[in-house]
Structure 1
Amino acid sequence: MHIFLRHGLLGSALLLSATTGAQAQLTFGPRVGLNATTIHYDFGDCREPETSLHTGLQAGLSLNAQFGKLAVQPSLLYSQRGGKSTATASDTYADTTRTFDFRNTTRLHYLELPVNLVYSTKGAQGGFQVFAGPYVALGLGGRQTTDMDVTIQAGAQRTTYADTFFQNVDFTNKRGEVSQVEYLQALDAGLNFGVGYKLGGLQAQLGYGLGLRNMILDYPDGRSPMPEGKSYNRGLHFSLAYFLG
Structure 2
Amino acid sequence: MKTKALLIALSTTVFALGAKAQDKTTFGVRAGVNFTNLNGKESNGDKLDNKLKAGFNVGVNAEIPLVPDFYVQPGLLFSTKGSKDKQGDGKLNLSYLEVPINLLYKPTLGAGKMLLGFGPYVGFGIGGKYKSGDEKIDVKFKNDVKPSDVSLTDPKIFLKSLDFGGNLLVGYEMSNNFSFQLNAQLGMTNLNPKSNGVKPKDKAKNTGFGISVGYRF
Residue aligning to 1:191? 166
Give, in whole Å, the separation in 1 of the partners of 2:199 and 2:26.
48
Q: Does residue 125 of structure 2 align to residue 139 of structure 1?
A: yes
**What's the CA shift string for 1:15-64, capped at 9, x where partnerless?**
13224436772100221111111111222654334321111111111101
- Residue 195 of structure 1 aligns with an amino acid whose one-letter code is V
Contact 1:49 1:85 in 2 (8 A): no
Q: Does residue 139 of structure 2 align to residue 169 of structure 1?
A: yes
Give, in whole Å, the separation in 2 of the partners of 1:203 and 1:8.
27
Deviation at 1:219, TM superposition (A): 1.1
Deviation at 1:212, TM superposition (A): 0.3
Residue aligning to 2:208? 235
Give, in whole Å, the separation in 2 of the partners of 1:220 and 1:45.
20
Give, in whole Å, the separation in 2 of the partners of 1:232 and 1:215.
6
Q: Does residue 164 of structure 2 align to residue 215 of structure 1?
A: no
Identity rate of aligned residues, in percent? 28
Map 1:116-135 to 2 at 5 A: 116-122=102-108, 126-135=112-121
Which residue, out of 204, 224, 241, partners 2:180?
A: 204
Structure 2, gaps ≥5 residues long: none
Q: Does residue 118 of structure 2 align to residue 84 of structure 1?
A: no
- Residue 76 of structure 1 aligns with an amino acid whose one-letter code is L
Structure 1, gaps ≥5 residues long: 88-101, 148-163
Residue aligning to 2:32? 33
- Residue 166 of structure 2 aligns with an amino acid whose one-letter code is L
Computed over aligned residues only, the root mean square deviation of the Cα atoms, in angstroms, reads 2.6
Decide which structure has the larger Cα Rg and report it.
1
Contact 1:29 1:241 in 2 (8 A): yes
Contact 1:28 1:61 in 2 (8 A): yes
